[in-house]
Copies of this chain bind each other. A is one copy, B any other.
């Protein structure tokens, strides 16, 4: 993929991006993400964060913004902004939780649910299509490996801050 023809690399230890796992993970994620975005972006004009929030709500309503954060791995600023966009589009409504008035109660609107129901099968189909590059066994394996990697990365990040 990367030919070195007469080029002068830096002396000593080098790093070939193509063989560097974090890089490969990143480009793969980008490509996969693009493949999935095709499902919700053009047709419904949603961004990745918007879709994630909708997915969280579609899976379990109502949720507070904070619960959305936990379920989607987004931070509260991102969630707050996604909600603003979604309210604006009439896909989500937000009202105050009367038990704890700091908290919101978020729900998909009828229109929001309709879009959710439109996207889910397409997203799933896309996932299946992507994963068809792997056998059943490999898919399972891949899921396990990526989880272990995730936890390891999380651990490393936590431990130093």
Give the nearest-CB partner of A154 in chain B. B31
Q: Contact check, A124 vs B15: say whether CB atoms are below 8 A apart.
A: yes
Q: How far is the CB of A119 from chain B (nearest CB, A)?
A: 8
Could you show 14 A-B contacts with beta carbons less than 8 Å apart? A7-B63, A9-B60, A10-B117, A13-B117, A13-B120, A17-B55, A21-B131, A22-B36, A22-B126, A22-B127, A30-B73, A129-B156, A133-B151, A138-B145
Is the C-beta of A41 less than 8 angstroms from some C-beta in chain B?
A: no
Q: Which residues of B contact A32 (CB under 8 A)?
A: 21-22, 25-26, 149, 153
Query: How many identical subunits does the complex contain?
Result: 2
Contact of A9 among B13, B25, B58, B121 (CB under 8 A): B58
Q: Which residues of B contact A153 (CB under 8 A)?
A: 28, 31-32, 34-35, 130
A150 to B34, CA, bound (A): 11
A60 to B147, CA, bound (A): 34
Q: Which residues of B contact A145 (CB under 8 A)?
A: 134, 138, 141-142, 145
Task: For chain A, give the interface size range.
Answer: 35 or more
Contact of A108 among B10, B20, B23, B120 (CB under 8 A): B10
A116 to B138, CA, bound (A): 36
From known contacts A31-B150, A31-B153, infer whether A14 and B143 are also in contact, taking CB-CB under 8 Å: no
From known contacts A130-B22, A143-B21, A148-B133, infer whether A8 and B55 are also in contact, taking CB-CB under 8 Å: no
From known contacts A28-B153, A149-B134, infer whether A59 and B15 are also in contact, taking CB-CB under 8 Å: yes
Given A9-B60, A129-B156, 7 more pairs with CB closer than 8 A: A7-B60, A9-B61, A22-B126, A24-B150, A28-B147, A131-B149, A133-B152
